[in-house]
Amino acid sequence: MNALQTLISVLLLAFLALGAYNWYRVDHLRQELFEIRDRLFDEAADGHIGFASPAYRATRSLLNGSIRYAHRMSVSRFFAFHFMVAKHAQPFALRMGSSSKEEQGLCRKYVEEANLCIAHHLTQSIFFLPVAIPLLCLFVLSDGMDLAHRFLLRWRKQFAVLDEVVYREGSATSKSPHSRFAL
């Protein structure tokens, strides 16, 4: 009887940790991204940026792709993008085209805020801390803060790749019901 109770308890905890908590995290990320997209829309409605601006359209596509594929964002995929997409990734700033510096700066603020939300989402995974903390300690203990600094810079570069992937997804969803590049 005790073995059955233990098994049921373990299964319930696994469901809560891997199912319910993860669904909450995804819903929370999507809600934050919706709010960012709504604020960007409000900026355009107030006349701070044009709806036809390349910067606005690129940022909106990036946010739409992030919202649509929030359920597929994971730490492992985040780092796998480096090997799959990095060679073909175009800096997101180039997507903003001929927009003015003010429009690009305004949109860059929203892209950075979305990246922070995604980073928070990734670090809230139950798999992140057991893997990241020992690795970070190993980095700091073995080569000091310089290696940890390079690791954090690499993390930042990964967001440029992620931006490219979700931009493609956001652009693809506006053109066809099927994605051209799956996360």
What mean pLDDT comes out for the span 71-89? Answer: 73
Is residue 133, in this structure, part of any structural domain at all? yes
pLDDT in tens, 28-42: 999 999 999 999 999
Judge contact between 150 and 140, C-beta under 8 A: no
Is residue 148, in this structure, part of any structural domain at all? yes
What pLDDT score does 123 carry?
84
Is residue 73, in this structure, part of any structural domain at all? yes
Domains: count for the chain? 1
pLDDT in tens, 153-170: 767 767 777 787 788 877
pLDDT in tens, 110-148: 999 998 899 889 888 887 777 777 766 766 666 666 665
Judge contact between 33 and 117, C-beta under 8 A: yes
**Quick one: tokens of 1?**
């009887």
Is residue 85, in this structure, part of any structural domain at all? yes
What pLDDT score does 67 carry?
94
pLDDT in tens, 46-61: 999 999 999 999 999 9
Query: Does position 183 have pLDDT exceeding 60, yes or no?
Result: no
Range of 6-10, 80-84, 112-116, 163-167 with top mean pLDDT? 112-116
- Rg of the chain taking only CA atoms, in angstroms: 19
Whether pTM exceeds 0.85: no
- Residues above pLDDT 70, as percent of the chain: 75
Distance CA 39, CA 71 (A): 22
Is residue 181, in this structure, part of any structural domain at all? no
Range of the domain at 78: 22-175
Total residues belonging to the chain: 183
Is residue 37, in this structure, part of any structural domain at all? yes
Is residue 107, in this structure, part of any structural domain at all? yes
* Residue type at 72 in one-letter notation: R
Is residue 66, in this structure, part of any structural domain at all? yes
**Quick one: tokens of 144?**
């000091």
